[in-house]
């Protein structure tokens, strides 16, 4: 037997120590394993799912926009979209990326630089912020939408030549354009969601918006976006570290958007657009004696409104644009065209966003105010050729003269000198101190009651409010601008002679509301501005006995299965503070404008006024530095038709024929002036009371035709 | 009562006390633990490579098959070392040592660079990593030095032995450091420290060595011998953003894969991270993440416990060894495996720096498998030897 020497026993002890230390290492590993897999397991499981499962958004088919008869104004169609899978692209070398992007650029007809610009993430410091991709990098980035099937086939068949490039079909907006309607400025358009909108949606936990969403940018598409957009679906796929798809996960189907039923009528809309375009073209061929050149007719609008409830039947604006240019993302070329100065702002809806001096179309409203505040139907003022107000000569239109007349006659012939005196009457009665901002003014008050100077509340975004140039406005404007004009007067550096004279006067006395201002206001001139829509609903109030409505285009939201989800009832915005007799008096007076001697009579010769009792008023507003703005505002008990052409000459001259044509269509009046309501473009003449019938299988039938109500 | 077994060495049937009765045999628990690790390891290699098309070039089972071949060769080497006469091991030790130094020289001359380290020799279609054999050869050589200098004397090893062993370790360690292969250097250092401790070197020496390692480490970092990016690589396990593309990415992906396993794991071949190939080097250095994801806490925990059994049995063999050679050699191998396992799994779990160290018996690859199996053969040989003798 061997004896253990010293170093053997010592090493045995050391081994025990080593063993304890080593086993404690293993205990550490087990503890760490427990921590990773159990204590923080959820965190890592989430991280694992985030990188191995990719959610590909399946966009929801957007809801339709249909007219009163169920005719689609906006629908969908399939389009080929070419997109780049950024995660796959990033795995390639710079040279490979350049090769494939150059190749795909050639196929889709773009330059390499354009394709690169589109595929850059907006977070990339080198990104062009107008074309960059704001969505997540895992979502395929579209580089060309609505390409031909040939392009898509080429990419699909030569898959190996186009790594990371996808060709897929996508639902995009289509414009069936029944009867040739455009209505782009009412319908609106779509574009890619912005990062800000996406962040807001995420904050609000709004699942209907994703980075791939298209969002309504104007018009009904924007206003009713939440109903139209639907709920996107998701396709979950397992991907490997290189982003290649390994297998399918679960799918969540998208929920299609709901259909918006509008009160627009495609046939009336088409006629309104056609008539507006024809009238503007005619005006451009008409010589203007005042300026010595043809009328520019730069813009115009038509509003057809249901007088009973403020529903919009047609709303045309010019200039307009082709809504198809936005489908699949607008090209820079088309964008440049829309914003070119000579295009004259086709994205501005003149009907709701254009602001123009109302001119004489203001007189009926002011008459209501005057007759409710002391003046009577027997009040006479001299319709002289001109009137001197505060040292300035205020002329009548074409220096006409009718002698002492009543309000009825003054409206029929649109006598300016008559209304100057009405304006001065109240000016002298309540506010002869021009510096008194708070002076009582029944004419300003009645204009406000008719809804001027404030948005109408129509269901369209970006509506203009117009402007009532009263004392308060004048003072505020002076405060805002006096610095500019006083400086100009002091330095004597006015750019033209008009401003050279205007600047010192404005600087010293611009806040004063002079008799001239009151006179100008009384004929809708000066700084007062209205939108064609405001005018139409004011006339609707005259038509329906004094109720002011919020105009509405949307009538109802209907689910894809045909279930009515929401209806939009007419909303009363206010009542005209007037006695019935005064409203009735003005209403009857406005019939005489179409009768012999009236301003509209020469355009309504032979019209069956006994059967279709149209009331009307013309307006020809003078605009500093421009040609006159022409207005025709007409109504029956059923409808209001307002038409405006900027720089188009007199109202009756530029728009009279067009307005008559619209009335012919609405009531089925033929070329021989015979009324046959069976031929009216809207079956039953009136807007249908009921909604179109949705079968739930995708087809829409016209609503039941209501009984024609006596007008 | 059954008959009391007798030792085969005893020529006559002499009744002996129970405590002295041992059958001549290998250490069975160690054998079982190693076998279990080999089975589990080859399956893990399979799981790691089955879905990695970029790696297996369309042959999902190729790595599994090749690893089985590696294991078979390893078993042959194991048996060869086990069958070698115990006395020959001591005689062969200098040859093995010089052979491994020669291997390192060959690497410096004709080696290939893989993952930034020049550690491999490609010869006749085979890849050999000589630094793996260095671990075995240093354990052997140190054991010889200690045994020759202490056997028959009543004194513990002193300065001469310490300097000799540090020199034996220092030459190959420096060559490995130049490759650079920090992981292997760390494993070698831990092993040598363990050998010196078990050999009975005085506490002053041991504390002095630790202190000088700290001083040298501080100097290396502060004098910028290691570049900032190299330091960042080492520290990335504490803060992945220090090396987001390299070690930081690896450490994050490793943790996600392990954490994704949970208690029961995702099931064999079902690990989402493993299938998707997010963890780099998953069939070699990060093989433990496959166990973590697919087998969960239970499976990965069993793997850790199996390694603990292996180390425990080897230490037990060292304790029971009758001579200093066997004890030091076994202790060295125990330290080598223990530290390598800790370094590798710790790296996968984010508590150790990302360095290129394989998980013994599990990571795909031949050289490490061969060296480890030979080391285990040596351990079992020592076990046999100590039980051949009656005490």
Q: Which of A234-248, A269-283, B250-264 has the lowest mean pLDDT?
A: A234-248
Residue B389: per-residue pLDDT:
52
ipTM for this model: 0.92
pLDDT at B17: 47
Chain B residues in contact with A18 by the CB 8 A cut-off are 194, 197-198, 315, 331, 334-335
Taking an 8 Å cut-off on Cβ atoms, the answer to whether A19 and B150 are in contact is no
Q: Within an 8 Å CB–CB cutoff, is residue B382 touching chain A?
A: no
Q: Are A189 and A347 in contact (CB under 8 A)?
A: no
Query: Is residue A187 helix, strand or coil?
Result: helix
Residue contacts between A and B (CB atoms, under 8 Å): 164
The per-residue pLDDT for range B1-14, each reduced to its tens digit, is: 444 444 444 444 44
Q: CB of A20 within 8 Å of any CB in chain B?
A: no
Predicted confidence at residue B14, as pLDDT, reads: 45
- Which of A11, A37, A238 has the CB atom closest to B200's CB atom? A11
Write out the two tokens for B141. Answer: 């050589």
pLDDT band at A279 (very low <50, low <70, confident <90, very high): very high
Do B292 and A12 lie within an 8 Å CB cutoff?
Answer: no
**pLDDT for residue A278:** 96
Higher pLDDT, A361 or A147: A361
Which of A243-252, A462-471, A543-552 shows the lowest mean pLDDT across its residues? A243-252
pLDDT at B15: 47
Nearest chain A residue to B156, by CA: A7
Tokens found for residue A133: 């991709």
| Mean pLDDT value across chain A | 90
Place B207 in a pLDDT band, splitting at 50, 70 and 90: very high
Q: For the CA atoms of chain B, what is the radius of gyration?
A: 22
What are phi and psi for residue A261, nearest 5 degrees? -95, 130
**C-alpha distance from residue B154 to each of A537, B4, B150, B205 (Å):** 118, 38, 7, 19
- CA-nearest of A106, A114, A103 to A143 is A114
**Closest-CA residue to A593 (of A537, A642, A634):** A634
What is the spatial order of strands in the sheet that B126-128 belongs to? Answer: B112-114, B117-123, B126-128
Higher pLDDT, A542 or A136: A542
Contacts of A6 in chain B (CB under 8 A): 154-156, 200
SS3 category, A381: strand
Residue in B150, B262, B335 closest to A37 by CB: B262
Select from A25, A28, A237, A239 the residue whose CB has the most chain B CBs within 10 Å, as the one to mutate to test that interface: A25
Cis peptide before B180 (omega within 30 of 0): yes
Q: Mean pLDDT over residues A498-503, rounded?
A: 87
Give the DSSP per-residue string, A409-443.
HHHHHT-HHHHHHHHHHHHHHH---TT-TT---HH
Comparing CB atoms, the residue among B260, B311, B338 nearest residue A45 is B260
3-state helix, strand, coil in chain A (%, to 5): 40, 20, 40
Q: Are B339 and B135 in contact (CB under 8 A)?
A: no
Q: A457 preceded by cis ω (within 30°)?
A: no
- Between the alpha carbon of residue A410 and those of residues A125, A360, A479, A635, B110, the distances in Å are 67, 11, 37, 19, 111
Q: What kind and span of H or E run contains B54?
A: helix B53-56
Sign, Cα dihedral of A366, A369, A371, A373 = negative
A245 touches chain B (CB under 8 A): no
Task: Give the model's pLDDT for residue A710.
Answer: 41
pLDDT of amino acid A396: 85
Q: Is A181 exposed, middle or buried (0-12, 13-18, 19+ CB in 10 A)?
A: buried
- Determine the pLDDT at residue A264: 96
CA distance, residue A81 to nearest chain B CA (Å)? 28
CA–CA distance, A162 with A105 (Å, rounded to integer): 11
Q: What is the pLDDT of residues B365-390, one digit of tens each?
A: 999 999 999 999 999 999 998 765 54
pLDDT, position B7: 42
3-state SS of A262-292? Answer: ECCCHHHHHHHHHHHHHHHHHHHCCEECCCC
Q: Which two tokens stand for residue A634?
A: 């007409």
* pLDDT beyond 90 at A669: yes
pLDDT top residue among A400 and B65: B65
Answer yes or no: do A29 and B273 touch at CB < 8 A.
no
Which of A672, A679, A646, A645 minimizes the C-alpha distance to A659? A645
A12 touches chain B (CB under 8 A): yes
Tens-place pLDDT, residues A509-539: 889 999 999 999 999 998 999 999 999 999 9
Cβ under 8 Å to A: B residues 231-290 = 255-263, 272-273, 275-278
Whether B324 sits inside 8 A of A238 (CB atoms) is no
* Mean pLDDT value across residues B202-210: 91
Measure Cα distances from A389 to A393, A472, B212 in Å.
6, 21, 108
What mean pLDDT comes out for the span A103-113?
A: 89
Q: Which residues of A touch B257 (CB under 8 A)?
A: 48
Task: Give the global pTM.
Answer: 0.70
Residue B391 scores a pLDDT above 50: no
d(CA A539, CA A634): 8
**pLDDT tens per residue, range B41-98:** 999 999 999 988 778 878 899 999 999 999 999 999 999 999 998 889 889 999 999 9
What are the chain A neighbours of B351 within 8 Å (beta carbons)?
Answer: 28, 32
Please report which confidence band the pLDDT of residue B192 belongs to, taking 50, 70 and 90 as the band edges.
very high
**Cβ neighbours, 10 Å, residue B124:** 5
CA neighbor of A642 nearest in space, from A668, A682, A615: A615
A contact residues 360-399, partner B, Cβ 8 Å cutoff: none
Considering only CA atoms, which of A634, A284, A577 is closest in space to residue A451? Answer: A577
Q: pLDDT tens digits, residue range A323-348?
A: 999 987 787 888 999 999 999 999 99
d(CA B259, CA B267): 14
Contact A25 B342 (CB under 8 A): yes
Report residue B311 as tokens: 């180390």
Give the residue from A4, A12, A18 with the most B CB atoms within 10 Å of its CB, the best one to mutate: A18
Alpha carbons B331 and B326: distance in angstroms, whole number: 8
Q: Output the pLDDT for position B339.
A: 95
Among chain B residues, CA nearest to A247: B276
Per-residue pLDDT reduced to its tens digit, A162-181:
888 888 888 889 999 999 99
Residue B213: C-alpha distances to residues A447, B79, B210 (Å): 94, 38, 5
By CA distance, what is A7's nearest residue in B?
A: B156
- Residue corresponding to tokens 């005209």: A576
SS3 A643: strand
CA distance linking residue A454 with residue A151, whole number of Å: 51
pLDDT band at A673 (very low <50, low <70, confident <90, very high): very high
B22 pLDDT higher than 70: no
> A568: helix, coil or strand?
coil
CB–CB contact A7 B157 (8 Å): yes
What's the gap between Cα A552 and its chain centre?
13
Name chain B contacts of A38, Cβ cutoff 8 Å. 262-263, 297
Q: Please state the rounded mean pLDDT for residues B325-353.
A: 95
Calculate what percentage of chain B has a pLDDT beyond 70. Answer: 92
Q: Characterize A577-616 residue by residue with b for buried, 16 or more Cβ atoms within 10 angstroms of its Cβ, and e for exposed.
A: ebeeebbebbbebbbbbbeeebbbbebbeebbeeebebbb
Q: What pLDDT, on the 0 to 100 scale, is given for residue B52?
A: 82
Overall average pLDDT of the B146-154 stretch: 80
Tell me: pLDDT of B21 over 70: no
Q: Which residue has the tokens 């392990």?
A: B258
Asked whether the beta carbons of residue B259 and residue A47 sit closer than 8 angstroms, the reply is yes
CA distance A57 to chain B (A): 21
The model's pLDDT over A188-245, given as tens digits with 9 standing for 90+, comes to: 999 888 888 888 998 998 888 887 788 999 999 999 999 999 999 888 877 777 666 6
What are B158-164's contacts with CB under 8 Å, separation 24+? B158/B201, B158/B202, B159/B205, B161/B199, B161/B201, B162/B196, B162/B201, B162/B205
DSSP B291: I
- Averaged pLDDT score across all residues of chain B: 87
B214-to-B68, B219, B275 alpha-carbon distances in Å: 42, 9, 41
Q: Which of B261, B304, B335 sits opposite A18 (nearest CB)?
A: B335
B311 to chain A nearest CA, in Å? 8
Note whether B327 contacts A: Cβ–Cβ < 8 A.
yes
Q: How many CB atoms lie within 10 A of CB A512?
A: 17
Q: What is the mean pLDDT of residues B271-296?
A: 92
Token digits for A680? 């009216």
Q: How many CB atoms lie within 10 A of CB A668?
A: 17
């Amino acid at each position: 037997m061997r004896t253990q020497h010293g170093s053997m026993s010592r090493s045995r002890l050391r081994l025990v120590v080593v063993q304890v230390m080593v086993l404690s290492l293993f205990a550490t590993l087990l503890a760490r394993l427990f921590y990773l897999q159990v204590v923080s397991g959820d965190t890592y499981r989430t991280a694992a799912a985030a990188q191995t499962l990719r959610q590909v958004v399946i966009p929801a088919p957007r809801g339709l926009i249909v007219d009163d008869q169920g005719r689609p104004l906006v629908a969908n169609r399939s389009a080929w979209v070419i997109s780049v899978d950024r995660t796959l692209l990033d795995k390639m070398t710079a040279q490979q990326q350049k090769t494939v992007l150059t190749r795909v650029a050639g196929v889709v007809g773009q330059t390499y630089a354009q394709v690169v610009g589109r595929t850059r993430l907006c977070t990339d410091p080198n990104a062009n912020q107008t074309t960059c991709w704001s969505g997540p990098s895992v979502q395929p980035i579209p580089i060309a939408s609505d390409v031909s099937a040939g392009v898509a086939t080429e990419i699909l068949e030569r898959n190996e030549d186009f790594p990371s490039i996808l060709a897929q079909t996508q639902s995009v907006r289509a414009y069936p354009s029944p009867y040739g309607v455009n209505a782009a400025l009412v319908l609106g358009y779509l574009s890619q969601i912005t990062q800000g909108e996406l962040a807001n949606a995420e904050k609000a936990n709004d699942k209907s918006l994703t980075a791939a969403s298209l969002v309504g940018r104007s018009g009904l598409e924007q206003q009713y976006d939440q109903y139209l957009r639907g709920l996107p679906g998701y396709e979950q796929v397992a991907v490997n570290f290189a982003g290649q798809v390994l297998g399918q996960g679960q799918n969540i189907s998208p929920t299609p958007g709901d259909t918006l039923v509008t009160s627009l009528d495609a046939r009336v809309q088409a006629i309104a657009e056609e008539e507006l375009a024809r009238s503007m073209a005619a005006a451009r061929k008409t010589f203007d004696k005042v300026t010595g050149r043809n009328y520019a007719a730069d813009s115009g609008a038509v509003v057809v409104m249901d007088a009973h409830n403020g529903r919009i039947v047609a709303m045309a604006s010019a200039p307009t644009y082709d809504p198809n240019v936005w489908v699949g993302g607008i090209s820079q070329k088309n964008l440049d065209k829309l914003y070119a100065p000579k295009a004259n702002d086709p994205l501005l809806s003149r009907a709701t966003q254009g602001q123009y001096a109302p001119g004489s179309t203001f007189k009926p409203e002011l008459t209501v105010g005057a007759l409710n505040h002391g003046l009577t139907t027997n009040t006479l003022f001299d319709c002289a050729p001109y009137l001197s107000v505060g040292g300035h000569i205020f002329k009548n239109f074409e220096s006409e003269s009718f002698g002492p007349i009543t309000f009825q006659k003054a409206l029929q012939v649109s006598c300016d000198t008559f209304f100057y005196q009405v304006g001065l009457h109240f000016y002298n009665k309540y506010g002869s101190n021009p510096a008194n901002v708070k002076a009582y003014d029944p004419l300003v008050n009645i204009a406000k009651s008719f809804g001027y100077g404030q948005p109408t509340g129509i269901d369209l975004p970006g509506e203009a409010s117009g402007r009532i140039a009263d004392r308060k406005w004048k003072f505020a404007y002076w405060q805002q601008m006096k610095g500019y004009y006083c400086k100009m007067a002091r330095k004597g550096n006015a750019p033209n002679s008009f401003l050279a004279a205007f600047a010192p006067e404005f600087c010293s006395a611009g806040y004063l509301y002079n008799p001239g201002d009151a006179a100008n206001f009384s004929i809708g001139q000066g700084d007062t501005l209205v939108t064609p829509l405001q005018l139409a609903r004011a006339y609707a109030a005259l038509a329906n006995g004094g109720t002011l409505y919020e105009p509405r285009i949307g009538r109802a939201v209907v689910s894809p299965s045909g279930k009515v989800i929401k209806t939009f009832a007419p909303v009363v915005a206010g009542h005209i503070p007037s006695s019935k007799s005064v409203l009735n008096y003005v209403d009857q007076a406005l019939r005489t404008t179409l009768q012999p001697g009236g301003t509209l009579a020469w355009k309504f010769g032979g019209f069956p006024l006994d059967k279709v009792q149209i009331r009307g008023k013309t307006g020809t507003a003078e605009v500093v530095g421009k040609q006159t703005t022409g207005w025709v505002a007409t109504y029956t008990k059923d409808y209001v038709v307002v038409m405006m052409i900027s720089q188009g000459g007199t109202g009756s001259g530029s728009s009279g024929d067009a307005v008559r044509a619209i009335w012919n269509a609405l009531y089925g009046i033929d070329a021989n002036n015979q009324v046959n309501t069976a031929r009216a473009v809207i079956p039953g003449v009136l807007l249908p009371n009921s909604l179109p019938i949705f079968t739930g299988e995708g087809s829409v039938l016209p609503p039941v035709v209501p009984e024609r109500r006596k007008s | 009562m059954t008959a009391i077994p007798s030792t085969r060495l005893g020529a006559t049937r002499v009744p002996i006390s129970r405590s002295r009765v041992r059958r001549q045999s290998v250490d069975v628990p160690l054998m079982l633990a190693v076998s279990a690790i080999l089975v589990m390891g080859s399956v893990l290699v399979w799981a790691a490579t089955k879905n990695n098309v970029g790696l297996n070039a369309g042959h999902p089972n190729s790595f599994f098959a090749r690893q089985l071949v590696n294991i078979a060769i390893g078993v042959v080497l194991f048996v060869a070392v086990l069958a070698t006469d115990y006395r020959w091991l001591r005689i062969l030790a200098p040859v093995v040592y010089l052979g491994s130094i020669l291997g390192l020289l060959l690497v410096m001359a004709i080696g290939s660079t893989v993952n930034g380290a020049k550690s491999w020799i490609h010869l006749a279609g085979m890849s050999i990593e000589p630094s793996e054999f260095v671990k075995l050869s240093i354990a052997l050589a140190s054991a010889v030095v200690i045994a020759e200098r202490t056997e028959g004397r009543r004194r513990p090893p002193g300065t001469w032995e310490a300097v000799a062993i540090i020199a034996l370790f220092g030459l190959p360690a420096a060559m490995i450091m130049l490759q650079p292969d920090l992981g292997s250097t760390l494993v070698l250092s831990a092993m040598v420290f363990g050998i010196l401790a078990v050999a009975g070197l005085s506490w002053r020496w041991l504390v002095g060595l630790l202190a000088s390692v700290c001083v040298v480490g501080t100097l290396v970092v502060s004098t910028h011998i290691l570049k900032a990016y190299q330091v960042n690589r080492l520290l990335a396990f504490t803060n992945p953003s220090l090396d987001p593309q390299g070690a930081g990415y690896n450490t994050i992906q490793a943790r996600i894969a392990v954490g994704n396993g949970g208690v029961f794991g995702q099931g064999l071949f079902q690990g989402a991270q493993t299938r998707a190939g997010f963890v780099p080097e998953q069939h070699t250095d990060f093989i433990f993440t496959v166990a973590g994801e697919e087998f969960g806490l239970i499976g990965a925990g069993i793997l850790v416990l199996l390694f603990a059994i292996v180390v425990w049995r080897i230490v037990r063999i060292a304790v029971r060894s009758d001579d200093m050679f066997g004890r030091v050699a076994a202790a060295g191998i125990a330290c080598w495996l223990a530290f390598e396992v800790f370094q590798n799994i710790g790296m996968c779990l984010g508590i150790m720096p990302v360095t290129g160290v394989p998980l013994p018996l599990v990571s795909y690859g031949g050289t490490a498998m061969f060296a480890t199996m030979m080391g285990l053969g040596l351990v079992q040989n020592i076990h046999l030897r100590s039980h051949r003798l009656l005490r």
